[in-house]
Amino acid sequence: MSMNLKKNLCGAIIIILMVALTAVVLRFIVLGQTLPGSQADKRTAIIVTEAERTFMLGEMRAMLLGTQQILQASLNQDMPALIAAAELLGMKKTHHAPSGLMGKLPLGFKKLALGSHHAFDQIALDGKDFGDSEHSLEQLNEILGRCVACHAAYRLETANSN
């Protein structure tokens, strides 16, 4: 095999691998497993299994409960309870997701969700550093804005319901 043929073959293999890698990144990091919205419901459908849907809805209910606990602790001027509630919803909460789920979630959803978990961690840290429940409420308001944006943009569908 001539040197030019070897170089051309190596170049072609590199291009094929780059295209394949780009496709994988696009599918699993950017797009996820989604369907576009419909006339009736313009939100992007995220296609998950029933078990993944159950997990995600449970996580959302936990975030709602934690939000209520943070609000109650703020009203009671109970910074230790506020901090504890925020810590439960931080980034360590993301380690319990079913395998394969993150690849199904579009990048926009991941940014909103992970941004919220980071923000809960920040509430806990700032609560320890400043002890200012007003500041915590401002932070919580920003998180709720992410929740509203996410629910306005996405819906969950199971693979057999679409």
The per-residue pLDDT for range 73-118, each reduced to its tens digit, is: 999 999 999 999 999 999 987 778 888 999 999 999 999 999 999 9
Return the pLDDT at 156: 97
pTM: 0.80
Burial 20-33 (b: 16+ CB within 10 A, else e): eeeeeeeebeebbb
The token pair that represents 102 in the structure block? 């993150």
Note whether 118 and 81 are same-domain residues. Answer: yes
Give residue 2's domain range: 1-31
**DSSP 3-state of 17:** helix
Return the pLDDT at 8: 81
Note whether 57 and 104 are same-domain residues. Answer: yes
Sign of CA dihedral 108, 114, 115, 116: positive
Per-residue pLDDT band for 19 (boundaries 50, 70, 90) equals low
Note whether 93 and 118 are same-domain residues. Answer: yes
Q: Count of domains in the chain?
A: 2
Nearest-Å Rg of the Cα atoms of the chain is 21
Note whether 16 and 5 are same-domain residues. Answer: yes
* Sequence-ordered strand ranges (E) for 80-130: none
Weakest mean pLDDT among 16-20, 107-111, 153-157? 16-20
Note whether 11 and 44 are same-domain residues. Answer: no
Looking at residue 98, the DSSP 8-state letter turns out to be P
**Distance between the two ends of the chain, CA-based, in angstroms?**
53
Q: What length does the chain have?
A: 162
Largest CA distance in the chain: 80
What are the tens digits of pLDDT across the range 107-138?
A: 999 999 999 999 999 999 999 999 999 999 99
